[in-house]
Amino acid sequence: MKKILSLFTALLMIFTFALPIFADTTFADVKIADYRGAFTEEQLTALSSQLNDTLDKYDVCGVVMISDAFEDLDFNDAIEYCEDNGLTSHKTCLAMVYSFESNDLYVYTIHDKAGVFDSETLAYFEYDLYDKYTSFDNGVFSNEAIYAAADDFCKVIADAGEAAANGTPIKTDYFSALGDNATLFETDSEESSDTASYDPSDPSIINENEITRTIPENRLVPRLVDDAELLDLPDEERLLKKLDEYSEKHELDIIIVTTKSIGTKTSEQYADDYYDYNGCGYGPGDDGILFLISMENRDWAISTYGKGIPYFTDAGQEYMQNQFLPALRNNDYITAFDTFADLCDQFCEKAENGSPYDYGNLPRKPFSFMFLVIAAVIGMLIALGVCTHHKRQLNSVAFKKGAADYFRPGSFVPGIKEDIFLYKNVSKVRRQSSSSGGGRGGSSTHHSSSGRSHGGSHGHF
């Protein structure tokens, strides 16, 4: 008995001493996901206090996510984390995400029903944090800089939440007024052009606008850029003329870009950045669609923006892929590009008539009556063969005009004639509406490095 008591006492003491350790290493606020362990306990408590205060006052949920050393977090990771932890139930949900793998900081809007930020102020917000807290000397964030950025993130969303609640959402001058970022968006700054280490031979960089993180007001490139040299000159000139014609017709830029390499970026990132930092897009809404081909790993990507997003739905893009991918895989690039351009013209016309191609409303191949004739002939031949086979098995059966020979007189005399209802069996099947595409319709979106929302798809060929 004494041994049992001694063992129990020892275990109790171990648990008692270990409890404070567990308490110190566990942080309960799910709005902070510090996979790197960049923050101290005091810093975590301070950030949590600010985020909870903003949430309580304005129903604006701020989330801080810091990746592990060998991880990369993107917009989809932020959405999944917020949904899994029940953070999307609030009026507005924003996430500041820093990824060690790509060495980048982003501010993502999961959703913003309160109208705290528009796309422009969100871009300024992200740029402001990046500009002030990135160390360009050694190319990495320090833990102190990460905490300073997170602290600034908490303060800005609190100010923005208060301003939106008062009916006066913050404007872009809020960020330039902070002092550290006054010249961030000056496109003609001599200082920025002198100090930017822009190397045009680096495929991971689009142009100087990506270095300064500015979006040009006008398109800087033609609608066909064949840097991978996949087309001969006559085909290139004819295709460019077609792209210009369709673009002007629908007031939506249709752009094709080929490149030899996309560097360290994904095809989706490269296509989005090429679109943004080369000023692509038609009219004040920068409406358009861009088709990218990279030959290094045989990547392709589609990036849509503005009214290009609802015009080219996820289902519509899947249909387009099935049309141009066979030609790409056979290295028949001009056929693939012609197919893409013609489909864009067809999709735009359909969308302009109020019914864009989507699930349950995709193009159908023209019906040929020849197939109907062939099917009828085959059906008749099969039926004739089956009937002939059964007829040959009935050689001993004689023809009878009636059924009297099969009936014995007086063998059936009913005494009582009465109808009795036994039961009723009713089956109900709910009719599914086809107009919504089973919840799969529409266009999914993501954020590019500029902070703008793009639609699109990507893959290999």
pLDDT digits (tens, 9 = 90+) for 261-280: 998 889 999 999 999 999 99
Q: What is the mean pLDDT of residues 275-293?
A: 94
Q: What is the pLDDT of residues 185-240, one digit of tens each?
A: 333 333 333 334 445 556 656 777 776 678 888 899 999 999 999 999 999 999 99
User: How confident is the model over 331-389, as pLDDT tens digits?
Assistant: 999 999 999 999 999 999 999 998 999 988 888 765 556 767 788 788 888 888 888 87
- pTM of this structure: 0.49
Domains of the chain: 25-176 (3.10.310.50), 217-362+444-460 (3.10.310.50)
Q: Which residue has the higher pLDDT, 394 or 193?
A: 394
SS (H, E, C) 399-444: CCCCCHHHCCCCCCCCCCCCCCCCCCCCCCCCCCCCCCHHHCCCCC
Going by the DSSP 8-state scheme, the letter that residue 17 receives in this structure is H
Model pLDDT, residue 181: 38
Instruction: Please state, rounded to an integer, the average pLDDT across all residues of the chain.
Output: 81
Question: What is the per-residue DSSP string for 48-92?
Answer: HHHHHHHHHHH-EEEEEEE--TT----HHHHHHHHHHTT-TTSSE
